[in-house]
Amino acid sequence: AHGLAHRDLKPDNFCFGSADPESSLKLIDFGLSLGPCVDARPSPGGGSMSMAGTLEHSAPETFPQPQPDGQQPRRLRYGQAADMWSVGAIFFKLLTGENLVELNRDRRAVDFGTRLRAVVAGDGATGVDRELIDDAARKIRSEEFVRRRIALARERAPPAACELLELLLQQDPAQRLTATQALKHRFITDSYLSPGSLPLRRYALDAETIDRMRRFAGAPGLRRLAVLVEAHLLGPQDDDTIKQQVCTFRAVDECGMGVLTAADIAAALRAQGHDVPADLEEICHKLD
């Protein structure tokens, strides 16, 4: 936003504005930010050529580029596209529960200040600091390493999410998605629809839906688990039936809290002219 490159995007630098459940998420710590930058290509005189940020979330172009014949490593000028790589690294962790790049924990334990110095130093880092930087750079610049990590995500996340992840983790910053492009990706547009934006009449919540809920609630535990896993792996972007069900849920969930009660479902059934089954409370209790 505003042409800035934050240069240290990571989960620790996001926080809620207040304790209010409706509070928005905010990005903090602009101490390393630079601007103005335009997408992958910094404007003349803009961008940066120095290392900054946290190693696990740093883009390939932020590291010194090795040169042949023992020449001094070359530094590239980089801008907002480096932030989009960091967004990809954060997204990877959300999808898999793991860091995109895991650095040697034993090395970190040698010196409590090592990671901090490696984060901000870059130039002139020696010893353990340099080992950490080189380890991170070797992995992040390796297309094979990144492919293996994306393959791991594909085992745990919907195809549309992994498609977005791959577009964010492009080695070439010019090929990486911009923030505007990422927000238009189908994983975002199909998954997160504004509460109340879906007219209930378009999405069937009727006796047949309740009957499917009843059968699911009465199924063996392993069967229910298998169905849930399959639904998560496919996702609403890749299966029309799941998308229909997600849209129905969102239409009924008028407050946007992500939770439906028996009362919510009963109200939606009445609004569509359907009878409320006597066992609705029991069905919802079993589904919980």
Instruction: For residue range 65-115, list pLDDT tens digits in order.
Output: 777 777 776 777 788 999 999 999 999 999 999 999 988 755 443 343 344
Q: Distance (Å, rounded) from C-alpha 92 to C-alpha 283?
A: 35
Q: Output the CATH code of domain 11-41+48-67+75-193.
A: 1.10.510.10
Structure tokens at 162: 């992994």
Q: How many CB atoms lie within 10 A of CB 227?
A: 12
Sign of CA dihedral 244, 231, 196, 189: negative
Q: Is the pLDDT of residue 181 over 90?
A: yes
Question: What are the tens digits of pLDDT across the range 50-61?
Answer: 677 888 999 999
Where in the sequence of the chain do the CATH 1.10.510.10 domains occur? 11-41+48-67+75-193
Q: Is the peptide bond before 36 cis (omega within 30 degrees of 0)?
A: yes
Question: What are the tens digits of pLDDT across the range 199-245?
Answer: 545 556 778 888 988 998 888 888 887 777 777 666 666 666 777 77
Q: Distance (Å, rounded) from C-alpha 288 to C-alpha 284?
A: 6
Q: Which residues contact 168 (CB under 8 A, 6 or more apart)?
A: 84, 85, 87, 88, 91, 176, 177, 182
Model's pTM, two decimal places? Answer: 0.64
Q: How confident is the model at residue 170 (pLDDT cuts 50, 70, 90)?
A: very high
Q: Which residues contact 268 (CB under 8 A, 6 or more apart)?
A: 200, 205, 251, 252
Q: Is the pLDDT of residue 127 over 60?
A: no
Q: Is the pLDDT of residue 124 over 90?
A: no
pLDDT for res 145 = 96
Mean pLDDT over each residue of the chain, to the nearest integer: 78
- CB distance 178 to 167 below 8 Å: no
